[in-house]
């Protein structure tokens, strides 16, 4: 019998992928195929193997006897027995399936497969808190660690060996689903319900994979008890907060689990639509934010904490963007520092962020409004004080000149402080100091003359004119109180000079005050529009209609002529036609012209006799356009400020506009362009050196600056007729 078996094996077994051996009752090798010889390290070419015994590979050798005993107890055979052998002093694990060749146990025929690597792996995992196992092809436990036995309610892994894994599944459909996945992908995972030894049900997360080693196949895997975690997940399903977990799979950050709130938040119907299907980077509105998020998460991990309240712009399945807040913690990190698993919660804060944005915008608008008000008050404090001072002196002049003989009504003759001082000296010299009234008259005039002599301290300032006019008014008061006007020709001459000075000042004060008030009115309208824009109110409507542009220009010139003469010593000179009709918004056009003239006055140098003492206003017309320009001699505007459009930006002033503390708000040019644009027009600014020899960028010399506004004579029907535009500012 033994000889027949050996001959049969020699003919068929040499090509098998597993080890095949035949030993006699003493364990002496009768036959071993090439794979078996490699496993047992037998000579590959030796025909006689009688010098080798299978017992020599068992430690202790009595283990071989125990194996034979188990064979007899199981009807003369063993299936897939895991055996530890010592081959040339090295431990090797094999799966051995063997049987007796006949009832006399004359020989033993066996099939072995080397599973050393797998067995070593299982031995290493014995003390892990994760259940680890392997199954035979017929799905019975052939290996299990202590954690698996404990999870399933058994005292030791041995109690699990040989048991059918199907008996542990509460729902056969869970097992069938895993089987389907394994057949398709060779590995599977899922959460399943299992029954313990005492019949209690638990929830377990299972990972399993099929393997093949020669003809010996099977399955190995791992599982953990997630009963408590699943309870938490169930509780999270009813939470208003989204919960999720992410794991790194083949370089992709896959969502492995989430609750329904999380799924709905991102536009998915169910958690199953996202788990193991969606890469979380798909949910970032800005892909670059994901890398930054991981960096911040790793930094918090190094500090021993979790990332909390991180705001991110997310994206729903349909592409809609919204803001979220994330609390996240790292679960597992790879050896190279890569984040392998993380878990976190998510809140939809889109409404909160949008409200914050609105509040921030309102705060910024309020701050802008406050700045505008501050700028407004600062810009017009001095003009208001000048008006107040001028009107106070004018009131005194009107009071003291009432009924004084000799106070001439001629107010066009130019006079100055020198003439007044000379007249005061002449009147004092011609007055006899014999009586008390004459003495008082002389003393008062001397006191006033000394005060007048200090006018040089205010040269070039409007305060000098106010001082001279005030002294003139005091002189008239002294003449009236002492009744000295009829005593001499010198006193009468003094009255005439003082009266002319006082009345000239009154006229200019009133004209100047009207100009200042007109400017304040224009600025107030502009600022009201700007404040309304900041506070979200409807802008001021443009009321277009046929108007005489020249009349509007002349009205603006008339309002600011006194200011130009008093503050800069300049006349405003108009050149152009007597009348030009165009379709304009008259009120807004007047404000635009006021802005233009105020800027021309403010940034002019002090006038000197000659061609540079004029602010030129010019109108040129065509059939379709009206060109209005204003040219002044004075402060330059840098070429790059014009070319870049900086001078038209709200609140921006040119680099040289602060020269000699010139006050301004940086809104005039902005307002000019806004109004011109509303009319369908344009604004052009040029600023060039007066001296032909001066370089274009030599800003130390005076410049001629021209603001030219081109307006269509007929307003376009597609424009802003009776419409509105955002309004801004006043003169800068």
Segment 223-267, tens digit of pLDDT: 988 887 776 666 666 667 898 999 998 899 999 988 889 999 999
Q: Are 21 and 153 found together in one domain?
A: no
Q: Is residue 717 part of a domain?
A: no
Residue with tokens 């080890």: 19
By the 8 A CB rule, do 731 and 705 touch? no
Mean pLDDT (the chain) is 81
Q: pLDDT-derived band of residue 394, with 50, 70 and 90 as boundaries?
A: low
Q: Are 312 and 329 found together in one domain?
A: yes
Q: pLDDT-derived band of residue 456, with 50, 70 and 90 as boundaries?
A: low
Q: Is residue 138 part of a domain?
A: yes
pLDDT digits (tens, 9 = 90+) for 472-514: 888 888 888 887 766 677 888 888 888 888 777 777 767 666 6
CA distances in angstroms from 709 to 443, 527, 679, listed in the order given = 59, 22, 11
Chosen domain end from 114, 140, 161:
114
Q: Are 256 and 402 found together in one domain?
A: no
Q: What is the pLDDT at residue 626?
A: 97
Q: Is residue 184 part of a domain?
A: yes
Helix axis angle for 489-534 and 462-482, nearest 10°, is: 140
Residue with tokens 């109110």: 537
Chosen domain end from 225, 259, 293:
225
> Structurally, how many domains does the chain consist of?
5
Q: Is residue 374 part of a domain?
A: no
Alpha helices in 630-696 (DSSP H): 639-644, 668-678
Q: Is residue 521 part of a domain?
A: no
Q: Is residue 663 part of a domain?
A: yes
This prediction has a pTM of 0.39
Q: Are 680 and 582 found together in one domain?
A: yes
> Which residues span the domain enclosing 89?
2-114
What is the average pLDDT across 29-45? 92
Q: Are 683 and 565 found together in one domain?
A: yes
Q: How many CB atoms lie within 10 A of CB 681?
A: 20
Q: Are 163 and 66 found together in one domain?
A: no
Q: Are 103 and 182 found together in one domain?
A: no
Chosen domain end from 469, 485, 516:
516
Q: Are 290 and 436 found together in one domain?
A: no
Q: Are 704 and 599 found together in one domain?
A: yes
Q: Which of 305-319, 353-367, 496-510 has the highest mean pLDDT?
A: 305-319
What is the average pLDDT across 716-731? 43
CA distances in angstroms from 493 to 427, 497, 499, listed in the order given = 8, 6, 10
Q: What is the pLDDT at residue 729?
A: 39
Contacts 24+ apart (CB under 8 A), 199-202: 200/153, 201/170, 202/151, 202/227
Q: Is residue 606 part of a domain?
A: yes
Q: Is residue 236 part of a domain?
A: yes
Q: Are 126 and 91 found together in one domain?
A: no
Q: What is the pLDDT at residue 409?
A: 46
Contacts of 6 (CB under 8 A, 6+ apart): 22, 30, 31
Evaluate if residue 432 carries a pLDDT over 70: yes
Q: Are 689 and 552 found together in one domain?
A: yes
Question: For the domain that residue 172 is a member of, what is the CATH number?
Answer: 3.30.450.20
Q: Are 592 and 686 found together in one domain?
A: yes
From the list 43, 58, 1, the residue with the least C-alpha distance to 24 is 1
């Amino acid at each position: 019998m033994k000889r027949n078996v050996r001959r049969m094996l020699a003919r068929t077994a040499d090509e098998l992928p597993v080890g095949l051996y035949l030993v006699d009752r003493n364990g002496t090798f009768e036959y071993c195929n090439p794979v078996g010889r490699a496993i047992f390290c037998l000579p590959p070419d030796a025909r006689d193997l009688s010098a080798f015994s299978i017992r020599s590979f068992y430690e202790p050798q009595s283990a071989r006897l125990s194996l034979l005993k188990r064979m007899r107890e199981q009807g003369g055979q063993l299936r897939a027995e895991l055996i530890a052998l010592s081959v040339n002093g090295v431990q090797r694990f094999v799966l051995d399936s063997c049987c007796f060749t006949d009832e006399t146990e004359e020989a033993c025929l066996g099939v072995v497969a080397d599973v050393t690597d797998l067995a070593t792996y299982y031995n290493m995992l014995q003390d892990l808190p994760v259940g680890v196992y392997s199954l035979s092809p017929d799905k019975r436990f052939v290996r299990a660690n202590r954690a698996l036995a404990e999870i399933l309610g058994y005292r030791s892994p041995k109690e699990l060996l040989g048991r059918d894994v199907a008996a542990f599944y509460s729902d056969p459909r869970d097992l069938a689903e895993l089987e389907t996945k394994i057949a398709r992908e060779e590995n599977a995972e899922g959460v399943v319900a299992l029954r313990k030894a005492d019949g209690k049900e638990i929830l377990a997360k299972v990972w399993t994979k099929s393997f093949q080693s020669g003809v010996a196949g099977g399955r190995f895997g791992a599982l953990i008890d997630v009963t408590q975690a699943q309870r938490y997940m169930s509780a999270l399903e009813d939470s208003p907060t989204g919960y999720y977990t992410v794991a790194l799979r083949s370089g992709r950050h896959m969502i492995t689990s989430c609750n329904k709130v999380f799924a709905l938040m991102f536009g998915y119907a169910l958690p199953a639509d996202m788990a193991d299907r969606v890469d979380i980077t798909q949910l970032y509105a800005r892909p670059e934010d994901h890398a930054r998020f991981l960096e911040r998460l790793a930094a918090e991990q190094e500090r021993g904490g979790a990332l909390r309240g991180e705001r991110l712009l997310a994206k729903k399945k349909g592409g809609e963007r919204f803001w979220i807040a994330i609390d996240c913690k790292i679960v597992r990190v790879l050896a190279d520092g890569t984040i392998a698993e993380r878990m976190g919660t998510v809140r939809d804060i889109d409404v909160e962020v949008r409200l914050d944005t609105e509040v921030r915008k309102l705060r910024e608008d309020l701050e802008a409004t406050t700045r505008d008000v501050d700028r407004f008050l600062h810009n017009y404090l001095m003009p208001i004080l000048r008006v107040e001072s001028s009107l106070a002196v004018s009131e005194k002049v009107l009071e003291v000149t009432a009924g004084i003989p000799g106070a001439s009504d001629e107010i066009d003759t130019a006079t100055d402080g020198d003439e007044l001082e000379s007249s005061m000296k002449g009147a004092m010299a011609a007055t006899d100091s014999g009586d008390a009234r004459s003495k008082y008259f002389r003393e008062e005039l001397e006191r006033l003359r000394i005060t007048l002599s200090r006018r040089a301290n205010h040269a070039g300032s409007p305060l000098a004119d106010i001082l001279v006019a005030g002294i003139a008014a005091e002189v008239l008061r002294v003449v009236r109180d002492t009744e000295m006007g009829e005593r001499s020709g010198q006193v009468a001459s003094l009255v005439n000079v003082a009266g002319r000075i006082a009345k000239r000042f009154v006229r200019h004060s009133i004209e100047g005050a009207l100009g200042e008030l007109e400017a304040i009115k224009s600025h107030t309208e502009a600022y009201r529009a700007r404040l309304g824009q900041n506070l979200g109110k409807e802008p001021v409507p443009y009321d277009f209609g046929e108007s005489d542009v020249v009349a509007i220009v002349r009205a603006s010139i008339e309002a600011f002529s006194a200011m130009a003469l008093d503050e800069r010593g300049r006349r405003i000179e108009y050149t152009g036609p007597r009348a030009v009709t165009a379709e304009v918004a008259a009120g807004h056009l007047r404000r635009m012209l006021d802005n233009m003239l105020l800027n021309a006055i403010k940034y002019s140098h002090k006038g000197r006799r000659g061609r540079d003492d004029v602010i030129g206003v010019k109108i040129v017309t065509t059939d379709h356009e009206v060109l209005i320009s204003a040219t002044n001699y004075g402060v330059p505007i840098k070429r790059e400020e014009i070319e870049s459009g900086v001078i038209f930006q709200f609140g921006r002033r040119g680099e040289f506009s602060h020269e000699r503390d010139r006050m301004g708000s940086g809104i005039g040019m902005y307002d000019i362009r806004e109004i011109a644009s509303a009319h369908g027009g344009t604004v052009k600014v040029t600023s060039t050196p007066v001296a032909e020899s001066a370089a274009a960028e030599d800003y130390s010399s005076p410049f001629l600056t021209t603001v030219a506004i081109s307006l269509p004579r007929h307003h376009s029907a597609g424009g802003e007729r009776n419409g509105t535009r955002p309004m801004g500012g006043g003169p800068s």
